[in-house]
Chains A and B, each alone.
Chain A
Amino acid sequence: MTTTPDSFSYPDSTGHFGPYGGRFVPEALVAALDEIEAEFTKAQADPAFAAELSRLLRDYAGRPSPLSDAERFSEHAGGARVLLKREDLNHTGSHKINNVLGQALLTKRLGKSRIIAETGAGQHGVATATAAALLGLSCTVYMGAEDTRRQALNVARMKLLGADVVPVTTGSRTLKDAINEAFRDWVANVEDTHYLFGTAAGPHPIPLMVREFHRVIGQEARAQVLERVGRLPDVVAACVGGGSNAIGIFYDFIPDAGVRLVGLEAAGDGVETGRHAATITGGSPGVLHGARSYLLQDENGQTIESHSISAGLDYPGVGPEHSWLHDTGRAEYRPITDAQAMAAFALLCKTEGIIPAIESSHALAGALDLGKELGPDAVILVNLSGRGDKDVETASTYFGLAAGDLESGDPVAGDPA
């Protein structure tokens, strides 16, 4: 479809992106969501709020994040020019800090003293615990019991930062159950507690608010690419779990009709195996965690457990704006398997000296394919949403690096595409 000015003004006043989004929540949360919406609207119009957030993003988080030309990596991408938006260099190691600082400041404006959060890989939990420490808020993070085991390092980081980490043992004991548990806490403690949701999903106004706090990624990157290359990129690529880094980098490119927006979903063992987290590619519209969007569900409307080597993409839902961008054709969504992502991970390590998050490696794998499709004249902007320190153990196991020798795994020898 062609981009109209209208597609830049979603959601509508009731929080809908076409048929997606909205509020599918218990009545007990409606007042809190209304309160957040009102305060967020006021904050957006308040120059003092913008100034304080900008100051924190610059002096604390380290923005603007750089744009790196990935010259040696590009040789494996059909010679296309691959540019990396370096969100991995932000404080706490991912894009998550943008949203967390914004919402933590908002929590203070709401007069609340406690924040709660869900986390999968631990990146959002660490970012939330960080902002809580910075702003003097108490913090509880819900994390699936499976994930606390897989991501023990991040559990320790959150505890060092003063957060309580609650392992969730209900349901599938992963991210979706951590979200359920956080919602339960919020319903019971909504008077003094803000639920600092980590992705651009959930009930209105959360998808809108999280997008607005991450828009800075796309705003910076668009200007940086124009300055560096002298034109807009042909493609913007980003990994999509819930979709916060992707909507953050996509949003300011939506009116640029010539720029392809490509979201890379986690295909796990392959969408055809059923063991994946490719919600848009392999799912269908329904309601989960407070909004209508694509989700992985069975014939009874029960959520199906997702599978991905990347804990941060291992989620059976996706933000409603991505569902809308998919249906309207403004963005396209492609599956990337664990194997493709890990090959791209290894390639970036060896060609650029950057250890990427496994989440972001899905976007890198997508860029390798897109470069080959488009050829050497193409410019591909990749959101490198996080760094891979947290993934070293997973990668070592995956590549069989018992002795810690990357050569022995020789991952680059495999076809990275």
Chain B
Amino acid sequence: MSVLADVLARSRAEHRSALIGYLPVGYPDVPTSIDAMIAMVAGGADIIEVGVPYSDPGMDGPAIQAAVDPAVKAGVGLRDVFAAVSAVRAAGAVPVVMSYWNPLEKYGVGRFAADLAAAGGAGAITPDLIPEEAGQWIAATDVHDLDRVFLLAPSSTDARILSTVAASRGFVYAASTMGVTGVRAAVSDAATTLVSRIRRLAPEIAVCVGLGVSNADQAAEVAAFSDGVIVGSAFVRCLLDSPDAAGAKAAGTLAAELAEGVRRR
């Protein structure tokens, strides 16, 4: 039983990909970031990645770090993240937390899983946690019936694709280029190759693709070969350009454009 797998299956039944939007909690402040997430849901995002601000986001590019640094300085923590999770859930989309590992470990892995489940979260994406280090997390997510999303990369071997899929629940996150997050002009060929390798080796799991999508055409392109299109930096850019209610509204408008993209046939 997986909340994320269910919503992805529903999208597939509608012959489309799901739209997955990322925003970190707390930029420019907690209420505005939550408003932006709600606007993204209204615009058509199926899943919201609720980002935990972290001081050393080694996998993220300049846009996300620029938004996250002030949130870290302001002391935004998991209590704020759970509030955002509940708000997204109330708005009608599926919330999944996106976090580097240390904030979760510091909070307590079991306690985090319990509180996330209580807030209505579907699970978490952990970009710097590989299954080999995830024993505690796998146990805690089993106890609380949460999804756990691990990443795959173009450099992943067949053996690692199989072992990572076996450890994952909900979907696997295909990092479509070698590199950090950020808006890119073109969708990488590496993405299609990676997704087809995963499909061949593990046809049972949903595959969502992230890193680089910023407009409806790119969303349509990625939607053609994936179960979900993940968009992060482009939403963050809306708030960086306008760190206020107008920025939150712009994130909603972008979501509507992208939602049209993932529905193109």
Contact = CB atoms under 8 A, between A and B. Distances in A.
B162 interface: no
A302 B54 contact: yes
B77 A300 contact: yes
A49 interface: no
Interface in B167-181: 175, 178-180
Contacts of A299: 77, 106
Given A187-B179, A301-B102, A289 B56 contact: yes
Given A14-B132, A25-B130, A27-B151, 14 more contacts: A24-B129, A25-B128, A26-B58, A27-B160, A27-B175, A28-B151, A31-B157, A170-B65, A184-B58, A288-B56, A299-B77, A301-B103, A301-B104, A303-B56
B120 interface: no
Contacts of B57: 180
A30 B54 contact: no
A28 B178 contact: yes
Contact of B106 (A187, A190, A191, A286): A286
A289 to B, nearest CB: 7
B59 interface: yes
Contacts of A26: 58-59, 127-128, 151, 153, 175
A27 B153 contact: yes
A24 B179 contact: no
B210 to A, nearest CB: 12
A131 to B, nearest CB: 25
Interface in B29-88: 53-59, 61-62, 65, 69, 72, 75-78
8 contacts: A23-B133, A26-B175, A27-B156, A184-B58, A187-B178, A190-B178, A300-B77, A302-B53
B114 to A, nearest CB: 17
Contact of B150 (A27, A176, A183): A27
Interface residues of B, number: 43
B56 A27 contact: no
A193 B21 CA distance: 32
Contacts of B152: 27
Question: Which of A176, A290, A301 gathers the greatest number of chain B CB atoms within 10 Å?
Answer: A301
The list of the 7 closest CB pairs from A to B, nearest first, reads A301-B106, A28-B153, A188-B179, A301-B103, A31-B155, A300-B77, A302-B55
Interface string B138-160: 00000000000011111111001
Contacts of B156: 27, 30-31
A111 to B, nearest CB: 15
B117 to A, nearest CB: 20
